[in-house]
Every structure is written in structure tokens, then in C-alpha cells.
């Protein structure tokens, strides 16, 4: 369905020295440098899959999405949907896709919502019969009826997001791009929107590419995750795989009054494991031990620790998806 091959995007950035003087200098002799925002990203998405596309702020997510939606021209590499390429024939390419940017709207701001759908019908050349059926379907899935006659500027954020998703689906696209579709929404509306996305995906086999910072979206919707960082692809697999690959790392936290616990606790020799499986950090009396639970069982670590030093307070943290991702975002993938 979607094929992304060696996608790369460089931006030219003007380097400015600080202050007014710097601004003047760059006005007359601008210094530019190349910034690589996306570096050699490849992945494929089969028909009907929901792909969670994640990464920390500034990782290049938006840049990738914008290349996939025909907004930005790749520096090199290419992406195709059903064999169509946006740099070759943008117009026929965008007919296959629907796009929602949570932070922007494509609705006609000053007019009743209904008018937007009327115009989009013409832009996408949807015939009258399909339009009627489509509106009925979208109405039912996204519950637009109560505000379809209100001017768009008066809609609440939740209503606007539903309206925007409906607008992106009017022409029955094969692929739906959702960039932060749940940003700023309350729990109930988030739930409604997730359910709608799931329903559309199930009923119409619409392929969905979803970027979000709300990991509940990912856990509830995504069949697969592609994670990028610093413009590179760092993980590609299911949520389960992410957990087994990175979820074995546990964290043992305790407070001790023993002097120099780091010297006393020799996990490396005691369990004869390597440095990649355990690390100890001390901050005053607080100690943090990060270890790989598949190399050493949690109970053994606990027992050895309690034997060796005097412990006041102890906890073992399990790695949930949020924790895994937080760690990956913070330190990158080793």
C-alpha cells in the first residue's frame, strides 16, 4: 500500500549571531548550514493497517508526514501509495489520501460546517449519490448532526476535530493521515475519536498513519509502531515487540544508610553478568539500579541487595510502554 524508500530531507538554515548586530550581519552576508531533518527512512505499510508513527518533538515526524502527504518535496528517496508518487503527480496522489493536522483546520472558518463539505465534494469530484451515502455514514460515525449548521468558528475543539476528520474522509481515501488527532481533547472526546478511527479502519479497510504524543492512542489503536529519532528510523515493530525488546529493563530504587553502597554492591561479580545488563547510580543515599530482568531474575537482585546493605525503602519499577518510550526518547536507542 504505502512504500517509503530511503526518504531524506535537508533544510537550509540561516545561522544568525545573537542580537541586532547579528541580524544585520546575516541580512547582508547570510551564513547558511544544512540541517538533515530526515535521514534515510524506509518502511512499508500494508493495506488496512493502523501504524503509530512516534518520536520525540523535533525527531522529524512532521517532516516525514509532510513528505508523505505531498506537502514537502524530499531531497532524495521516495514514497509511493498504490504506485503513485506525490512528486510526479501530486493531484492524483492526494486523491488517495485524507489528511488531518490536529493543530490546523481545513474547514471554511466563517461558514456553517455544511458548506465545507459542499465545497470539498466539488474539489474531490464526489458524485451526488456517493456524497449522500458518505455524509450519512460520517454523520453516524462522528455524530456531526448537532453542529453541522453552526459556523465553524463557533465549534468546540472536540467538534472541530470530528468535523475535520469527516472532511478528510469525504472522498473515501485509501490512506488516512492523522497528525495528533487527540491533541488538547478531553477524555470522553478522545475516546469517541479513537472509536471512530477504529470503526472506519475496520469497515473500510482504510490504512491509517497516526502520529501522537498520547501513548494511549498507540496502545489502543496501533497494530504497529514506527519510531524515529533525530531523523532516523529507530524501531519498527508491534507494541508487543517493543515491550519484549526494551521492556525487560527494570529499575530498582532504594534508600540506604550504608556508606558507599556502590562499592558494597558488586552485582557484576556476584551474578557474573556484563555491564550491559546492570548499572548502578547513587545520589546521596538514594540508589538506582537498572537491570535486565531476563539476565537476572528480580527476586535474586532483591535478595542480594537486602542481604548486602541496610535498606530503608525499596521499590521495583516495571516498564510500561510509556516508561519504555520515555527512556528511548531521553537517551536514544543503544
Nearer Cβ to another protein (123/264): 123
**Judged by CB under 8 A, which of 50, 62, 117, 328 binds another protein?**
62
> Listing from the earlier edge strand, what are the strands of the sheet with 207-211?
97-101, 175-179, 207-211, 50-54, 224-229, 232-237
Q: Which of 90, 49, 48, 47 is nearest to 68 (CA)?
A: 90
Q: Does the footprint of another protein cover residue 311 (CB under 8 A)?
A: no
Nearer Cβ to another protein (94/242): 94
Q: What is the number of other CB atoms lying within 10 angstroms of the CB of residue 247?
A: 18
**Judged by CB under 8 A, which of 32, 106, 149, 238 binds another protein?**
106
How far is 67 from 226, CA to CA, in rounded Å? 16
Q: Does the footprint of another protein cover residue 111 (CB under 8 A)?
A: yes
How far is 103 from 122, CA to CA, in rounded Å? 25
How far is 268 from 278, CA to CA, in rounded Å? 8
- Unique residue bearing C-alpha cell 493495506: 47
The length of the chain is 334
In this structure, the strands spanning 224-229 and 50-54 are parallel
**Judged by CB under 8 A, which of 4, 81, 99, 215 binds another protein?**
99
- Unique residue bearing C-alpha cell 523535533: 58
In this structure, the strands spanning 278-283 and 175-179 are unpaired
Q: Does the footprint of another protein cover residue 271 (CB under 8 A)?
A: no
Q: Does the footprint of another protein cover residue 71 (CB under 8 A)?
A: yes
**Judged by CB under 8 A, which of 69, 192, 212, 233 binds another protein?**
69
Q: Does the footprint of another protein cover residue 104 (CB under 8 A)?
A: yes
Q: Does the footprint of another protein cover residue 229 (CB under 8 A)?
A: no
**Judged by CB under 8 A, which of 34, 91, 269, 330 binds another protein?**
91
190: cell is: 478522545
The stretch near another protein (CB under 8 A) out of 118-126, 136-144, 231-239, 311-319 is: 118-126
Q: At its nearest, how many Å lie between another protein and the CB of residue 14?
A: 10
Catalog residues that contact another protein under the rule CB under 8 A. 11, 62, 66, 69-73, 90-92, 94-95, 97, 99, 101, 103-104, 106, 108, 110-111, 115, 118-119, 122-125, 151, 179
Amino acid at each position: 500500500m504505502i512504500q517509503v524508500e530511503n526518504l531524506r530531507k535537508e533544510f537550509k538554515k540561516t545561522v544568525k549571531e545573537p542580537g541586532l548586530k547579528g541580524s544585520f550581519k546575516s541580512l547582508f552576508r547570510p551564513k547558511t548550514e544544512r540541517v538533515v531533518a530526515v535521514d534515510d527512512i524506509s518502511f512499508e505499510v500494508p493495506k488496512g493497517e493502523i501504524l503509530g508513527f512516534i518520536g520525540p518533538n523535533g525527531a522529524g515526524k512532521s517532516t516525514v508526514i509532510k513528505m508523505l502527504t505531498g506537502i514537502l518535496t524530499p531531497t532524495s528517496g521516495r514514497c509511493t501509495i498504490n504506485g503513485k508518487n506525490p512528486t510526479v503527480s501530486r493531484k492524483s496522489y492526494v486523491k488517495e489520501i485524507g489528511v488531518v493536522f490536529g493543530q490546523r483546520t481545513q474547514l471554511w472558518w466563517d461558514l456553517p460546517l455544511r458548506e465545507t463539505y459542499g465545497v470539498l465534494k466539488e474539489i474531490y469530484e464526489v458524485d451526488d449519490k456517493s456524497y449522500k451515502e458518505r455524509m450519512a455514514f460520517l454523520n453516524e460515525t462522528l455524530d456531526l448532526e448537532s453542529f453541522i449548521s453552526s459556523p465553524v468558528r463557533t465549534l468546540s475543539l472536540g467538534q472541530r476535530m470530528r468535523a475535520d476528520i469527516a472532511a478528510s474522509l469525504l472522498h473515501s481515501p485509501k490512506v488516512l493521515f492523522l497528525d495528533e488527532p487527540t491533541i488538547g481533547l478531553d477524555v470522553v472526546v478522545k475516546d469517541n475519536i479513537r472509536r471512530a478511527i477504529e470503526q472506519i479502519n475496520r469497515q473500510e479497510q482504510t490504512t491509517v498513519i497516526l502520529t501522537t504524543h498520547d501513548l494511549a492512542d498507540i496502545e489502543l489503536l496501533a497494530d504497529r509502531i514506527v519510531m524515529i529519532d533525530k531523523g532516523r528510523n529507530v524501531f519498527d515493530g508491534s507494541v508487543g515487540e517493543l515491550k519484549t525488546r526494551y521492556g525487560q529493563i527494570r529499575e530498582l530504587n532504594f534508600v540506604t544508610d550504608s556508606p558507599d553502597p556502590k562499592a558494597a554492591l558488586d552485582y557484576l561479580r556476584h551474578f557474573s553478568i556484563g555491564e550491559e545488563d546492570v548499572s548502578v547510580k547513587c545520589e546521596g543515599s538514594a540508589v538506582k539500579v537498572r537491570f535486565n530482568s531476563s539476565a537476572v531474575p528480580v527476586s535474586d537482585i532483591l535478595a542480594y541487595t537486602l542481604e548486602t546493605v541496610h535498606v530503608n525503602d525499596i521499590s521495583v519499577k516495571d516498564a510500561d510502554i510509556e516508561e519504555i518510550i520515555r527512556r528511548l526518547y531521553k537517551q536514544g536507542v543503544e
